[in-house]
Each structure stands twice: as C-alpha cells, then as structure tokens.
C-alpha cells in the first residue's frame, strides 16, 4: 500500500516542504530514494529497533521510501519519525486516513523515545503555509513550534503516543502558546543591570551613545578594569525587541538548535561572546549543511569579541562583508543560503601585551614598537567599522567599596529609545538604514551638516591630536547621535567636542 505524509528540510533559516511516500509491496528490501544523507539512511536501523521494542511489526516486504523534491538534500536523523509512521500506515498498523494532513518530524531512539530536532519554528511556519492541519514534533520542540498560529502543534515524547494520536485514541491537546503574553512577560528581564557598575560614568555614556546610534564600540583597558562587566550590560539598554525582531532571532536560534526547552520566543536581545579560538565557520556560519554562526546568533543583539587581538586575523577578516551587508551568504555546490547578521559589535582589548599601557597605577613594560604592533594586529578595515573607542581605567579598589550604585539600565534605555525615535523620523521610508551608524558618506553629508564653529573645531582637533582622515566621518556620525540624545536638530560644537574624545586609537601618537 502507498501512503503519503510530510516532513521538512531546513535551508538557511527557512523550511522546505518534503513529501514522504512509503510504499510496501511484494518482495524484500528497504529502498530510500531522494537524496538522503547517511544519517537518514541509518534511520532504518533505528526504526527497526523502535518498532520491535514496542511490539510493533517491521514489514518483511519490499519497502520503498521516496522523499521529494529529489534535488533538496535531506539531512540528519529527524526523518526517523515520519518514515516510521509511514511504514506503520502502509503496513496497516495505523489508521492512515488523514496522515497526509500532518507534518511529522522527530528523531527516534532505539526504545521509541522521540528526541529533539533543529528548526522546529520554521517548520511550523512552513507546515501552516502549506495548508497542513497538524504538526507533530518532539515534546522538547513543541513550545517553539507552537508560537505559529493557524496549525495544531503536538509535542510527543514517544512513538506510541504518536500512534495513539493518529489513531484518534489520544487525549493529547495541541500546544497553546499565547504569543503576545509570552512576549510581554519575557521582555526586558535582563540578568545584568548597569546599576551594578560603580563609577565609569564616561564609559557608560559611550555605551549609551553606542546603543542610541547602533554604533560599534571598542573598550581598551587593563585586566580587571570592568570591560566584560560593562559589555554584558549593553543589551539591557538597547530598545526592546519588536515582535518581528523576536521572531527573526528565534528562527535563527531554532535552526541552530540552541533554544532552551521552556522558551518559545527569544524576546531579549541576544548577547553572544564567542571565545577567541573560534573558527571562521563558527563565527560567520558554514558547514556542509550551512548552519548560522555567532554573527547570526547575535541577530538584533550584541556580538562581544573579548580580547580582540587574540582572535585569528583571518577570522576577523571574514566578518567584514557581513558587517557591511548585515547578512552573510554561504555558498555550497547545491545551494546558497543567507543568514541575517545585523548586530552591534562590542570589542575589548588590553592596550598592550602586558596590559598596563596608560594605566595610572601600574607601569607598562612594553616598548612603544610593541604597543603599536599589538594594536596593528586588528586589521584596518575592521577598525574602520568601529565608531567609538573608549579607554577604561579601573575604579580603585577602595572606591569600589564606598561608591553608590549606578543609574539603573531602565533609565538609560528610556533615553536611548528617545534618540532612536529621532532617527526613525530622519530615515523614515528608507529600508536600507534605520540608525545613524549605518549612514554612508552621502548620508553623512546630508544629515550631519556642521556649522562654521563646529567645522573649525573639528579641523583644529584633527591637527592637534593628529587624527587620521578616517576619523573625520566617524566623528560626524557619532556627533549626530550625541545631538539626537540631546534632542537637538542641529549638531553643535559641544556635540563634536564629545565625539572627538571617542577616537583614542586614531591618534598617531598611540603607543609612543
């Protein structure tokens, strides 16, 4: 007998509908056709065990499983369950009347348990859009799939449960997730708050500016000065995620299989901090079946590269294009996929190999040449994409004990939100740009006009501080954001004066 059900393959962050046909006829043998990889081919072994361990019957006939479309590569073990269900239906062990109204995905363990899969959220979207009525996924994936409205999502733990459900002998109810409620209760529950950071007002101010204009930022300071502590708190002052942003980030995390079991929606901005030993593929994405990298997992949030000079230069180089385009493209022989990669880069570094260059309390033992070459480990093009440089000096230990608490993140975030509103109006109707950091030179000419005083100030500073030419546009952009925080339509001299302070690494005198 021939039966048909549905599964799904993931390409990039989207799912593709896969038809799974199982035909059982006279003869013997198991034949799997339709571009399946080895893990799918091994499903036969797992299915046989799962069936026999549950007093089910493995048909000793000719079994043909056809997965279509044939030009899409089928990967992994998540097809175990639909194939097993297809076999049971085709051999009359299961009521197959409406099995073609299901999408079924899940990996089987040898005892018939159902193990979690990757990409359940995009699969649910696909199943709904394809007009299917019911989706069966592993219990651990049910919450993430159930955010999709318009399809009944069932989370299942065991093959037997699935059989009961399809035979209509089950009291299992579809998972119900109230998206809006989930979204509201989870939002803005950040574990780290700026109130824990004592002193460091200038650094917090720089982070507030970065958050307001979407600027990338690097912190330079000795060990223990609080760089990591400060960076971790940045997501708490970014504007709250919108529902669409949250869904987009959740989709990427779903495909990567890193969603926590009890979470149906990532509603807090991600903070990703990969170790400096990370590979190219780990950072930007890759693999035979392309998987998102850290820059995509940081979508709509923060990518924190701690100890930037320790990263391999080639790894940092591969980030350049995605940072420009806010999307990363991975090409393979059969397929090209895009992963979104819109994130804020926050980097930290020691100022020199010993860590204490410019430190007021401890002497640096590095020669000027060594300090310069340490900085040069970071490629120019990457540095070019970092608008704000701040030097972090440690708060002396005795002051840490007596200093009052800092301002709460919530208050800072409210100012950030106001500054973003000014940018929304400025870039209204444009799809390519939504914050000041994304302005091109043409935009800078248009939106960052300086009056004569401002221009003179900037020129004098460039000469006096020996700032490099590339600093010029960066300072104008950052001044624009500072003016937005000040609710000022025009850029004033004191906005520029502040922006100039955030170009430490541009000074040609750095290291000498």
Binding stretches for Zn ion (CB under 5 A): 352, 354, 357, 364, 366
Binder among 61, 72, 100, 199 for ligand ATP (CB under 6 A): 199
Query: What three-state secondary structure class fits 61?
Result: coil
Give the residues across from 20 on adjacent strands.
5, 67
Pair of tokens at residue 423: 């940018």
Binder among 61, 68, 229, 497 for ligand ATP (CB under 6 A): 229
Residue 195 binds ligand ATP, judged by CB under 6 A:
no
Which phi and psi angles does 61 have, rounded to 5°?
A: -130, -165
Residue 223 binds ligand ATP, judged by CB under 6 A:
yes
The gap from C-alpha 47 to its chain's centroid, in whole angstroms, comes to: 35
Q: Is the peptide bond before 345 cis (omega within 30 degrees of 0)?
A: no
Binder among 224, 242, 257, 490 for ligand ATP (CB under 6 A): 224
- Interface positions with Mg ion (CB under 5 A): 227-228
Residue 226 binds ligand ATP, judged by CB under 6 A:
yes
Residue 200 binds ligand ATP, judged by CB under 6 A:
yes
**H or E element in which residue 218 lies:** strand 217-220
Cβ-based burial of 369 (10 A; exposed 0-12, middle 13-18, buried ≥19): exposed
Give the nearest distance from C-beta 375 to Zn ion in angstroms: 12
Pair of tokens at residue 115: 């193990």
Give the nearest distance from C-beta 350 to Zn ion in angstroms: 8
If contact means CB under 5 to 8 A according to the sort of partner, which of Zn ion, ligand ATP, Mg ion, none does residue 233 touch?
none
- Which of 386, 409, 482 is closest to 234 using CA atoms? 409
What x-and-dash track marks residues 379-418 binding ligand ATP by CB under 6 A?
Answer: ----------------x----x------------------
| Non-local CB neighbours of 69 within 8 Å, separated by 6+ positions | 16, 18, 19, 34
If contact means CB under 5 to 8 A according to the sort of partner, which of ligand ATP, Mg ion, Zn ion, none does residue 229 touch?
ligand ATP
Give the nearest distance from C-beta 392 to ligand ATP in angstroms: 6
Q: How far apart are CA 297 and CA 313, in angstroms?
A: 21
What x-and-dash track marks residues 42-71 binding ligand ATP by CB under 6 A?
Answer: ------------------------------
Pair of tokens at residue 402: 């007596």
Taking CA atoms, 161 is separated from 22, 158, 214, 259, 422, in Å, by 21, 5, 48, 24, 54
- Closest-by-Cβ residue to ligand ATP is 226
The residues in 323-382 that bind ligand ATP, with binding defined as CB under 6 A, are 350
Residues near ligand ATP (CB under 6 A): 197-200, 221, 223-229, 350, 395, 400
């Amino acid at each position: 007998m021939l039966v048909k059900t549905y599964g799904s393959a993931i390409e990039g962050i989207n799912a593709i509908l896969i038809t799974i046909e199982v035909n059982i006829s006279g003869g013997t043998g198991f034949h799997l056709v339709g571009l399946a990889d080895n893990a799918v081919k091994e499903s036969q072994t797992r299915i046989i065990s799962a069936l026999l361990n549950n007093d089910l019957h493995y048909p000793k006939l000719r079994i043909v499983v056809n997965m279509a479309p044939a030009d899409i590569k089928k990967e992994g073990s998540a097809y175990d369950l639909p194939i097993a269900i297809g076999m049971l239906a085709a051999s009359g062990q299961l009521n197959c009347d409406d099995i073609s109204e299901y999408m079924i995905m899940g990996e089987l363990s040898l005892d018939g348990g159902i193990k979690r899969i990757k990409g359940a959220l995009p699969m649910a979207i696909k199943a709904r859009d394809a007009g299917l009525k019911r989706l069966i996924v592993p219990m651990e994936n049910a919450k993430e799939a159930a955010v999709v409205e318009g399809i009944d999502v069932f989370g299942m733990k065991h093959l037997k449960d699935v059989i009961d459900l399809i035979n209509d002998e089950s009291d299992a109810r579809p998972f119900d997730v109230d998206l809006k409620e989930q979204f509201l209760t989870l939002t803005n529950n950040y574990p780290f708050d700026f109130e824990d950071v004592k002193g460091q007002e200038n650094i917090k101010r720089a982070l507030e500016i970065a958050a307001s204009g979407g600027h990338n930022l690097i912190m330079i300071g000795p060990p223990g000065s609080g760089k990591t502590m400060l960076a971790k708190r940045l997501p708490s002052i970014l504007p709250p995620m919108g529902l669409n942003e949250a869904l987009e980030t959740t989709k990427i995390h779903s495909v990567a299989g890193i969603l926590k079991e009890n979470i149906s929606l990532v509603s807090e901005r991600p903070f990703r901090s990969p170790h400096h030993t990370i590979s190219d593929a780990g950072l930007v994405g890759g693999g035979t079946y392309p998987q998102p990298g850290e820059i995509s997992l940081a979508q709509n949030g923060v990518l924190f590269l701690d100890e930037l000079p320790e990263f391999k230069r080639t790894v940092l180089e591969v980030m350049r294009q995605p940072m420009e385009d806010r999307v990363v493209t991975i090409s393979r022989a059969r397929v090209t996929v895009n992963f979104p990669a819109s994130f804020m880069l926050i980097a930290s570094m020691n100022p020199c190999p010993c860590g204490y260059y410019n430190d007021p309390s401890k002497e640096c033992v590095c020669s000027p040449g060594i300090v310069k070459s340490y900085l040069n480990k970071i490629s120019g093009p990457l540095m070019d994409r970092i608008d704000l440089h701040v030097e972090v000096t440690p708060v002396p230990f005795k002051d840490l004990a007596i200093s009052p608490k800092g301002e709460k993140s919530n208050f800072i975030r409210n100012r950030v939100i106001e500054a973003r509103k000014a940018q929304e109006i400025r870039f209204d109707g444009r799809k390519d740009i939504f914050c000041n950091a994304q302005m091109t030179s043409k935009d800078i000419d248009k939106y960052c006009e300086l009056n004569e005083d401002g221009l003179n100030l900037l020129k004098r500073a460039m000469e006096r501080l020996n700032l490099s030419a590339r600093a010029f546009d960066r300072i104008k952009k950052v001044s624009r954001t500072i003016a937005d925080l000040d609710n000022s339509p025009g850029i004033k001299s004191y906005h520029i004066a502040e922006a100039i302070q955030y170009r430490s690494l541009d000074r040609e005198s750095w290291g000498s």
